[in-house]
Amino acid sequence: MAKKHYDYSNGPPELEAHSKAKHEVYRAYLKRYFQKASLTPQQDRLRLTIVDGFSGCGSYRVQGQIVSGSPLICLEAAREAEFEVNQDRAKPIRFEIEFIFVEKDKNAFGMLNSTLKERGFGDEIGKSIHLKLAEFETICNDAVTRILEKSRTGRSIFILDQYGYAKVPFAQIRHILTALPKAEIILTFGVDSLINYLSDSKASAQILNRLELPEIFRGRTIDDIKKSEPEWRFFMQSQLYRGLANCSGAAYDTPFFIRNTNGHGDYWLVHLSQHATARNEMTEVHWALHNHFVHYGKPGLDMFLMPGFDYQTGGSRSGQHELFLFDSGARERSIKALMDDLARRIHASDDGILFDALFVSTCNTTPATKELYKAALEKLAVGQREIEIVGEGGERRRSANAIQAGDILRVTRQADFFINR
């Protein structure tokens, strides 16, 4: 089972490097979210609820320096974004954000309360900031109800940084995403911790039942998998991820790992939402930061159909899986792979396909962003003249930046001379 994460008895604990990378993602994504949600010139306020379900003590130590924990990151990102957004607006916008910080450890909760006051947020406690000494699981439904009372669409972000893999039941995740159409969840899932624990014991079966994944390995025993799969750990990761994504009820997800440099300690930072745009924004953050995050798979579409393993069928295949690092090399490989993968889909459509429809239907299968899709399409249209990109008024697109959601992608007449997909 997962061990206790931090010891709060001696003040702010030391923050591990991979956790620092995770916090960087929180800050970058929140600021991006606030900016994108404030684009309408006539808008005068932004309403949002942020729920941090495993808040911790509020601050940590990194090489002797005190750094912000997730609650302070949420508050600081909102304050910074509101200031920056209003620099370029004729009509100011006011952020009306409610923060719900949940922590079960009494020592951590007390430190969080003190830290918020020390950082100048004390006056907002009980107003825009609500502190809950509780397990997230026990207050989740109340948080959803409170959000619905304020907003019909339920605009909210849930940061669920569990330590391990079993503190957030999938039934609650589905409830959040069903009840709150505009909710997003950023979930930590300790996949390597789970794999290290799993065996053919009754206790392991109970854990898989709690995770709603009792048949995730399709009747195979853990002992059989370890003996017969050359890369059994990766094989188990592949099956667990597909199960997690399916159980969440989310239409869109990001399957990216945080690498623990101390050994087998990889865990997922999974972004779950019902909107392709939100999925794309989180993927953009991973590309922008390219810190400790990786993806084990292909650079193009069908990233789960790797040389090593087939995520869809669960069968092993020959070869090794790839390590995708979100760097400049990965960008070039992504564009090259997308050119082939997207061309195949466009060739398969007799009447062409809308750009937005192509992106929405395939974005869950790739580490690529919408910007990389457009870059690949520009090369297919301008460089190879294999496809044409036609706007709603019949205009031909000649650059990636000009491509719009409603543009038609179709094969050119001369394409058959170049390639038979």
Instruction: Tell me the per-residue pLDDT of 22-81, one tens digit each, with 9 for 90 and over.
Output: 999 999 999 999 999 999 999 999 999 999 999 999 999 998 899 999 999 999 999 999
Question: DSSP letter string over 53-74?
Answer: TT-TTSEEEETTEEEE-HHHHH
- Mark 381-416 as b/e (b = at least 16 C-beta within 10 Å): bbeeebbbbbeeeeeebeebeebeeebbbbbeeebe
CA–CA separation, 45 vs 93, rounded Å? Answer: 5
pLDDT surpassing 90 at residue 143? yes
Domains of the chain are: 17-294 (3.40.50.150), 328-418 (1.10.10.10)
How many other C-beta atoms are found inside a 10 Å radius of the C-beta of residue 318? 7
- What pairs with residue 14 in β-bridges? 61
Do residues 48 and 156 lie in contact, with contact meaning Cβ atoms separated by under 8 Å? yes
pLDDT of 152-194, one tens digit each?
889 999 999 998 898 999 999 999 999 999 999 999 999 889 9
pLDDT for 20 equals 87
pLDDT of 323-341, one tens digit each?
788 888 999 999 999 999 9
pLDDT for 348 equals 92
Residues in the chain: 421
The residue written with tokens 């994944």 in the block is 213
> Left (φ > 0), alpha (ψ -120 to 50) or beta: where does 164 sit?
left
The residue written with tokens 């923050």 in the block is 15
pLDDT of 83-138, one tens digit each?
999 998 999 999 999 999 999 999 999 999 999 999 999 999 999 999 999 999 99
Do residues 194 and 165 lie in contact, with contact meaning Cβ atoms separated by under 8 Å? yes
Q: What is the CA radius of gyration of the chain?
A: 23
CA–CA separation, 280 vs 276, rounded Å? Answer: 6
pLDDT surpassing 70 at residue 306? no
Closest CA to 236 of 251, 221, 256: 221
Which of 282-286, 321-325, 370-374 is predicted with the least confidence, judged by mean pLDDT? 321-325
Closest CA to 343 of 305, 373, 299: 373
